[in-house]
Amino acid sequence: MKQCCKYTIILFFSIITSFVSRAQNAVSGKISFSDNNEPVVGANVYIPELRLGVSTDVKGFYRLKNLPKGAYTFQISYVSHKTLTEKVPVSGNITKDFIMENSATSLEEVVVTGAGIRTLVKESPVPIAALSRSQWLQTASTNMVDAIVKLPGISQISTGSVLSKPIIRGLGFNRVITVHDGVRQEDNQWGEEHSLHIDEYSIDRYEIIRGSGSLMYGSDGLGGVISVISPSPVEEGKIAGNILYNYQSNNGLQGFSANLSGNQNGLIWSGRLSHKSAGNYRNAFDGLVYGSNFKELDFSGMVGLNKKWGYSRLYFSKFGQEINIIDGLRDAQGYFMKNTVLEGKQVKVRVTDDELQNSTINPSNSQDLSNYKISLNNYFNLGKGSLSLNLAYSINNRREFGNVFKPNEPDLYFYLRTYYYDLRYNFAEKNGFETTIGTNGMYQKMENKGNETLYPDFNLFDNGVFVFTKKKINKLTLSGGLRFDIRDLSINKLYIDAEGKFQTNPVGAVEERFKGFSNTFKNTTGSLGAVYKISEHWSVRTNIARGFRAPSVPEISSNGEHAGTFRYEIGNINQLSEVSLQNDLGITFENKSWYFDLNLFRNQIDNYTFSERVQGVSGKDSIINGVPVFHYRQGNARLMGLEGTITFNPESLRWFSITQSYSMVNGVNLSAKNDSAKYLPFMPSPRWLTNVKLTKANIGKTLRNAYFSVELEHNQKQDQVLLAYNTETFTPAYTLVNVGMGATITNRQKKAIFSVYLAANNLFDVAYQSHQSRLKYLDVNPVTGRQGVFNMGRNLSIKLIVPFEIKKN
């Protein structure tokens, strides 16, 4: 099948490159400020359907060439100005000008994600949030998930400063689908102890769907979908790039990323090289946290064609990350310890000051993660309709080292291969209907190559077919669809040898520990929603969606010690599929000075799967090999919550804005037999975010897009926790203050020389533990009596971006 996929990709790309006709369709124009009619320098002009864009030059002009004939949505955006969207018919050479108005907020931003076909945020019945690259640059994130956790309804389960998994409305892992340039990201996302394998520096835009309103990428996105999008190709006739440098004070992070892109007669290409290196982070209670350092080296690129028939782009990437594992071992004086070998025996020794202060990876207590991916994205203009086809192949290597006697041999080594396909046809708009039909799915094969086995080898085949449509009737917008999924899963047998170790090979085995598993899971899902515009300023929306998630391989077959999670995991061969029913209700108000948005949701999930500690016969925690035992359980669950945002950006003071947001989720186990088991684990604490921001588009002749912001983040006490068998503990409230400022420096011709972004997270160096930090459950510090390891303290960040051009139009 691997060879088949390979030759298919080569065949498609060969056919596409055989088109030699030059496109004659182009759009050009000027973008100006409404208040003084001056040109807007650096405004973004983007066509979501074609994933193509340009920026305006020093005179405010733009030009897009080699466009397919048709009607496309033009999205015009600029810092601190109202985003414009307008459908423009493209045929031949046309001129289209735009006028931009000051505004700190706008709902008009176009998104193209799993929510369905091209849609506006304000026309979507499910809540959608977006984060642009310019917004990301103003943060002090250490990984790609850090960048989005301030958005309403989004949080993260973390293990130190680099390992983070996104949580949407209390749901994560296999319940959240990550899509990278139209292709599902598959990198063993079932676990919380490793990161998403995507280069943070390569991302141009995030689009997040909150809730199971997605039908386009799989029914198992019960929590939602995160769509990650790479930068658009540069404009025709250019070869340009940029260099990014990032330094962070807390752990001495040094980040570097260089990009070079070109576009000549519709032949487009891009390449990026990124590197990160960080030492151990610190906080006021723990000092330097041993084992929190990491290294990362990534490479990615794209080559493709933009022609009048559409586009074809071949993406390729290699992600590599080495991470130390924080185990929290301490001696009687509270100093961090590590395992080592002395006189042929494993012993614990105190970590030296030199080891705390350098960034060397410990080969006997670390992870080595790598992901290789190649994908072919195609869009064909077929007259009144269009066809898109995405094909992808990825290899994911996940190595975990934990043996001091064999430090360079992985205890666990998961070798995962994934073939992914996505085919969809977009019908031309007719009688107000916009409809898409399609199919997508994947084939996966996982092999164990380590010295130990956590769960057996498996093969998985997944396929889904769907239809999605949208209809406008005066002030009412209806949208919905249906999807049918089928998943074949086959898990091999697992054996145990004479030493008590697990193995997948029956040779030398003394016992069959897992009898094997083969089953087919299938179900129908769907969604139906409506948005009604009550008046010029008010609109309401509602959506009901049914989701389905087949059980994952670890939930069924885990049976071993997992060093990265500090526990022994036991699966359940009788796992059932999760089935959810989610209701959303929202209301929005927007005028020239105020923006208000409130979302209420209720999500009921049958056969909800969670991990719970095992209690021994004596009433104490069950322990194997010195680590607690957890097993996967199921029960009916209900998650309810809300997200609210209000922004004041006075029309007479466009340079000033203040935003207040609040989000919370309450997760209850409806099958609980007592109050200690009432709540679901790892639910985020309720959070308040207050942000005051000052912006100025132009200061003098050489300063553009200047900003200054102050943010107050208050996380309430989380006392709705899974207390049964000491699975979780209460988390006290804490408040953090974050500040930021930056600007772009230009020459007298208004060309950017460089941009600088300064940020300070946790300005007052508060010592705290996030409720979703896994480190809070590590051993107690015998000196202070505090359990676990605390989050990062004060962190100052600087980002510098230097753009350059080798060839101009």
Summarize pLDDT for 46-73 with one digit per residue, the tens: 888 887 888 888 888 998 887 888 888 8
Answer whether residue 99 shows pLDDT above 50: yes
What's the CATH number where 25 sits? 2.60.40.1120
List, in order, residues 6 or more apart from 785 with CB less than 8 Å away.
none
Q: State the DSSP string of 594-650.
A: EEEEEEEEEEEEEEEEEEEEPB-TTSSBPEETTEEEEEEEEEEEEEEEEEEEEEE--
Query: Quick one: CA dihedral 356, 359, 363, 369, positive or negative?
Result: positive
For residue 21, name the pLDDT band (cuts at 50, 70, 90): very low
Answer whether residue 107 shows pLDDT above 90: no
Residue 431 lies in a domain: yes
Looking only at the bridges linking them, the beta strands covering 98-100 and 26-33 are: parallel
12-21, 406-415, 426-435, 514-523, range with the lowest pLDDT = 12-21
Q: Which residue has the higher pLDDT, 499 or 572?
A: 572
Answer whether residue 7 shows pLDDT above 80: no
For the chain, how many structural domains are there in total? Answer: 2
Answer whether residue 13 shows pLDDT above 60: no
Answer whether residue 532 shows pLDDT above 60: yes
Residue 121 lies in a domain: no
Answer whether residue 626 shows pLDDT above 70: no
List, in order, residues 6 or more apart from 536 with CB less than 8 Å away.
none
Indicate whether 62 and 138 sit together in one domain: no
Answer whether residue 588 shows pLDDT above 70: yes
Q: Per residue in 436-493, pLDDT tens?
A: 999 999 999 999 998 888 889 999 999 999 999 999 999 999 999 999 999 999 999 8
Indicate whether 296 and 434 sit together in one domain: yes
Residue 11 lies in a domain: yes
Residue 769 lies in a domain: yes
Answer whether residue 306 shows pLDDT above 90: no
Indicate whether 160 and 12 sit together in one domain: no
Indicate whether 135 and 30 sit together in one domain: no
Q: Per residue in 401-421, pLDDT tens?
A: 988 999 889 988 999 999 999
pLDDT at 631: 84
Indicate whether 37 and 170 sit together in one domain: no
Closest CA to 681 of 739, 631, 716, 621: 631
Q: Per residue in 363-415, pLDDT tens?
A: 889 999 999 999 999 999 887 888 999 999 999 999 999 889 998 899 889 99
**Mean pLDDT on 336-353:** 91
316's tokens: 């390729």
Q: Which residue has the higher pLDDT, 539 or 34?
A: 539
What's the CATH number where 462 sits? 2.40.170.20
Answer whether residue 108 shows pLDDT above 60: no
Residue 85 lies in a domain: yes
Domain residues for 69? 2-111
Residue 63 lies in a domain: yes
Indicate whether 296 and 332 sit together in one domain: yes
d(CA 44, CA 75): 8
**Mean pLDDT on 623-628:** 66
Q: Per residue in 238-279, pLDDT tens?
A: 899 999 999 999 999 999 999 999 998 889 999 999 999 999
Q: Per residue in 195-210, pLDDT tens?
A: 789 999 999 989 888 8
Indicate whether 132 and 46 sit together in one domain: no
d(CA 163, CA 160): 6
CA distances from 618 to 143, 391, 523, 551, 615 (A): 43, 54, 42, 32, 8
Answer whether residue 10 shows pLDDT above 70: no
d(CA 417, CA 397): 9
For residue 1, name the pLDDT band (cuts at 50, 70, 90): very low
Answer whether residue 290 shows pLDDT above 90: yes
- What is the helix (H) or strand (E) element at residue 353, kind and residue range? helix 353-357
pLDDT at 128: 86
